[in-house]
């Protein structure tokens, strides 16, 4: 099982690890991963590994089964040997963009309180697909309401509940297309705000900013029809 360093501290840019395996397609598996693996609409992190004067670019982190994370590279012939101690260096600007967009999309699901049918994240923009038969009346008002929530600089924290507790509170799950990962016995929740100022609480394994103010200025882009009842809403970072 790969230790998930990105959950312990999403702001960490470097971390040590040890190579435990080589993947059949030329990737590397470490005992602990600073790199978030592709999942939940969020892309896998990129960056590089450093050891003994060598630098190996990491193109993408992916889930490799059995709770392992594979770091895919463009140079499979230059992998560090199994047992090698390496330093992981994440592409911080890209990671921070993912964190800002991901947290903004959580707040968008508050401003548009409808079931989420899909989503995607990049370092500059993201989208939510929503079960929205009718288009929202005023996009500018929607954007202003979302920006107001962001500017309140609410804390973003995590909690953990058991799978049984989640089953007893199915309303916590907003996403219709993706179920929270099960099998570990507990589920991670992301909370935005606290007490009377709590705005959102939902299962999520992704990386997020510590406070909503870090998201900065946003712009609501196109809202387009995707099927009989679904609409796709785009969100852009503006700074």
Residue pLDDT, tens place only, 188-222: 999 999 999 999 999 999 999 999 999 999 999 99
| Domain definitions of the chain by residue range | 3-90, 95-237
Please tell me the predicted confidence (pLDDT) of residue 41: 92
Asked whether the domain spanning 95-237 has the same topology as the one spanning 3-90, the reply is: no
- Quote the CA–CA distance of 229 and 232 in Å, as a whole number: 10
Q: Is the pLDDT of residue 75 over 90?
A: no
Confidence of residue 185 (pLDDT cuts 50, 70, 90): confident
Q: Bridge partners of 16?
A: 87
CATH of domain 3-90: 2.40.30.130
Are 58 and 49 in contact, with CB atoms under 8 Å apart? yes
Which is nearest to 215 in space by CA: 96, 42, 44, 91?
A: 96
95-237 fold: 3.30.980
Residue pLDDT, tens place only, 4-32: 999 999 999 999 999 999 998 889 999 99
- Quote the CA–CA distance of 34 and 51 in Å, as a whole number: 16
Higher pLDDT, 187 or 91: 91
pTM for the full predicted model: 0.92
């Amino acid at each position: 099982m790969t230790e998930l360093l990105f959950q312990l501290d999403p702001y960490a840019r470097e971390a040590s690890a040890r190579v435990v395996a080589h993947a059949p397609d030329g990737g590397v598996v470490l005992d602990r991963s600073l790199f978030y693996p592709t999942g939940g609409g969020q892309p896998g992190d990129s960056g590089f590994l450093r050891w003994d004067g060598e630098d190996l670019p990491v193109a993408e982190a992916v889930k490799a089964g059995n709770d392992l994370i594979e770091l895919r590279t463009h140079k499979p012939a230059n992998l560090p040997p199994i047992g090698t101690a390496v330093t992981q260096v994440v592409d911080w600007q890209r990671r921070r963009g993912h964190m800002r967009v991901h947290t903004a999309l959580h707040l968008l699901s508050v401003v548009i309180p409808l079931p989420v049918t899909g989503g995607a994240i990049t370092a500059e923009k993201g989208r939510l697909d929503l079960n929205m038969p009718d288009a929202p009346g005023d996009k500018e008002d929607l954007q202003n309401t979302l920006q107001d929530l962001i500017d309140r600089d609410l804390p973003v924290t995590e909690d953990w509940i058991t799978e049984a507790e989640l089953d007893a509170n199915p309303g916590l799950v907003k996403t219709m297309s993706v179920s929270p990962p099960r099998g570990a016995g507990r589920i991670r929740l992301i909370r935005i705000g606290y007490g009377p100022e709590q705005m959102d609480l939902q299962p999520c394994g992704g990386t997020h900013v510590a406070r909503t103010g870090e998201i900065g200025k946003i712009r609501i882009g196109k809202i387009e029809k995707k099927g009989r009842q679904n609409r796709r809403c785009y969100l852009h970072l503006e700074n």
